[in-house]
Amino acid sequence: MGREHAEDTAGWAAHDLGRVIVSADEVAARVRDLGSQITRDYQDHPPLLVCVLKGAINFMSDLMRAIELPVEVDFMAVSSYGAATKTSGVVRIVKDLDVDLADRDVLIIEDVVDSGLTLNYLRQYLGARSPRSLEVCALLLKQGEQRVEQDLKYVGFSIPSDFVVGYGLDVNERYRNLDAIYTFVGQP
């Protein structure tokens, strides 16, 4: 994966960024691959894409354009980090879905899975609404961080357990607009 350093692509934020974990080109190529796979897998039943805000917004925006099916989208906002760089483990629904999930194929679009606690909660919460199927597409899976066993149908990249920013991921609402994914070495 990424070999460049922050100064090469994000000068305005370089003082807070470490190495590139996944380059913009690698992200784009993997999103296209995931879109093709989802298109094949859901050919007969286009899924409802549920974007977990705010971190997954860049990923979902690119992913839905790479899926060659008439997908629908909806958004959820959950909080388990606050201003910290580690999850608190307490999940709070900030914005719920607007659509009914009954008998729908639902694909949760997540930015990063680390402990898995938030995702586990979301699966239970949405599963109680009787979808036909409920799967997950995560851009990033942090190696060795899961406290809950995860069965992820689609994973973009498996990465080290470093705290990362860029391509939708943030610290205090900053760095989401970077097109690559970097380690964060600044102060939150």
* HSE, side-chain direction, 13 A CA sphere, residue 116: 13
CA 41, chain centre distance (Å): 19
CA 15, chain centre distance (Å): 25
Catalytic residues, which ones? 114
Establish whether the linkage from the previous residue to 86 is cis, with ω within 30° of 0. Answer: no
The number of residues making up the chain comes to 188
Q: For 21, left (φ over 0), alpha (ψ -120 to 50), or beta?
A: alpha
Coil, helix or strand for 169?
A: strand
Beta-sheet pairing, 105-113 with 17-22: unpaired
Beta-sheet pairing, 154-159 with 133-142: parallel
Contacts of 157 (CB under 8 A, 6+ apart): 1, 21, 22, 26, 30, 139, 140, 141
